Amino acid sequence: MTSLAQFVDDRLVHGRAYFSREEAQAALGLKPDALAAALTRLIKKQRLANPRHGFYLILRPEDQVAGAPDPVRWIDPLMKYQRFDYRISLLRAAAFHGSSHQAAMVFQVVVPKQLRNFEIGRHRLQFLYQASEAFAQVNQPDQLDQIKSETGFAQVAGVELTLLDCARYFHKAAGINGVAQIAKDIGAKADPHKLAKLASAYENSSVRRLGYLLDRAGHARQASALEPFVKKAKTALPLDPAVKPLIASLAHAQQKVAKWKLVINEPVEIDF
């Protein structure tokens, strides 16, 4: 009878460094308790890691120091196992598109379902929720790119989606200044028509925030594509809604940018 260790080795030989409990059960024919015990033994020996219930990563010697391989190598099969569509976005996507200022300390994934963040080894995975209707509208093949790894491909937000995601979830993307730098670094690569089309699925305040930051970065064509969204806004909103003036009476003195109907309550700094 094939052992779990032999099954694991065979998977690696065939270039698949992951498996599900169901696949192991079908291949080995073990009773559930025996399989669970065998899995636990290999996890303790650092041969396996278990990022989600029922899904296992096979650790090669070079993976054992970090406790797991780079998530780009296994996020696609994990999400397929859980039957969720997804896209890698924010800091990892910005770095993929050329924003060298961004050191992605967390692996961020946009999904149409509330999922729990988790850590595995030295890796932190953060799941950002987008309402299913908006997600379905934008998460289309022609709006996504692919990150290639030695184990296959993973879906990553295209430039336009990366910019919009960063503007929407800006507190998760190194704050306003982090997004401003991303807009400067990769904004010129964005197709203005695509950007405007995708922006219709995002909150108006996020679109105006991105338009302002693209304007500040000198990407006039991309910023202009978002100007029509300003007409839909009824009132000026703070650039960063979480920032409150230390003295309430000074709130009126904050800079207002009529072009984007924004109150600039947070200084914006960009490295040129």
Does 34 map to a domain?
yes
- Shared-domain flag, residues 76 and 196: yes
Separation between Cα atoms, residue 53 and residue 102, nearest integer Å: 31
pLDDT at 245: 59
Separation between Cα atoms, residue 29 and residue 249, nearest integer Å: 72
The total number of structural domains that make up the chain: 2
pLDDT at 150: 75
Does 251 map to a domain?
no
**pLDDT tens digits, one per residue of 136-182:** 999 999 999 999 887 789 999 999 999 999 999 999 999 999 999 99
- Shared-domain flag, residues 81 and 213: yes
Record the pTM: 0.92
Provide the sign of the torsion angle of the four alpha carbons 8, 9, 10, 12, taken in this order.
positive
Separation between Cα atoms, residue 52 and residue 136, nearest integer Å: 24
Query: What tokens were used for 123?
Result: 């890796």
- Shared-domain flag, residues 30 and 77: no
Q: Per-residue confidence at 249, pLDDT binned at 50, 70, 90?
A: very low
pLDDT at 269: 86
- Shared-domain flag, residues 187 and 202: yes
- DSSP label at 122? T
pLDDT at 77: 95
- Shared-domain flag, residues 228 and 129: yes
CB 239 within 8 A of CB 265: yes
Separation between Cα atoms, residue 131 and residue 21, nearest integer Å: 30
Q: Given a cut of 80, is residue 253 above it in pLDDT?
A: no
- Shared-domain flag, residues 44 and 125: no
Does 127 map to a domain?
yes
- Shared-domain flag, residues 85 and 182: yes
Last residue in a domain, options 69, 85, 113: 69
In total, the chain counts a number of residues equal to: 272
**pLDDT tens digits, one per residue of 8-60:** 999 998 889 999 999 999 999 999 999 999 999 999 999 999 999 999 999 99
Does 245 map to a domain?
no
- Shared-domain flag, residues 13 and 76: no
CA-wise closest residue to 212 among 253, 157, 258, 161? 258
Does 45 map to a domain?
yes
- Shared-domain flag, residues 55 and 82: no
- Shared-domain flag, residues 112 and 35: no
What CATH number is attached to the domain comprising 64? 1.10.10
Domain range enclosing 223: 72-232
CB 167 within 8 A of CB 206: yes
Q: Helix axis angle, 159-168 relative to 175-186, nearest 10°?
A: 160
3-class state of residue 154 by DSSP? strand
- Shared-domain flag, residues 82 and 104: yes
- Shared-domain flag, residues 108 and 215: yes
